Amino acid sequence: MKTYYLETPPPSLNMAFPTGKNGRRYKSKAYADWCDNAGWLLKSQGIQKVDGPYGLEITFGRHLSRADIDNLIKPISDTLNKVGATDDDKFMDSVTITRAERPDVRITVFSMGAA
């Protein structure tokens, strides 16, 4: 089990992939910037890889985001995968996300069994 801390939650998925003039969706600059920043913050805390099935517990400060909380899961799980903390978000078997009175985003990754 490993717990990571981020200063800000990701932008809502509704804002992360806007539709361009050609009708195609693209990654917004705000989302790309958040992914880069979050990746560096996660790496600076020491990546501890969880192989195989895993679960997430995400708690973020109530004042940090008014987004639908289910829209915050995918960017976090994708970033954990990108930095090597997990193999693939298809192995995520459990997720709990909670708003609370805290100044940051706390993400705990834990194994759900053997790979």
Taking only the tens place, the pLDDT of each residue in 23-49 is 998 889 999 999 999 999 999 999 999
Q: Where are the domains of the chain?
A: 2-111
pLDDT > 70? residue 115: no
pLDDT > 90? residue 16: no
pLDDT band at 67 (very low <50, low <70, confident <90, very high): confident
**What pTM value is reported for the model?**
0.88
From the candidate CATH numbers 3.30.1330.70, 2.40.50.100, 3.40.50.720, 3.50.50.60, the one assigned to the domain spanning 2-111: 3.30.1330.70
Write phi, then psi, for 96 (nearest 5 degrees).
-125, 130
Structure tokens at 39: 């990746």
Closest CA to 27 of 67, 19, 51, 47: 19
As beta bridge partners, residue 61 has 100
What pLDDT is recorded for position 101? 87
pLDDT > 70? residue 114: no
Torsion 54-32-3-85 (CA) sign: positive
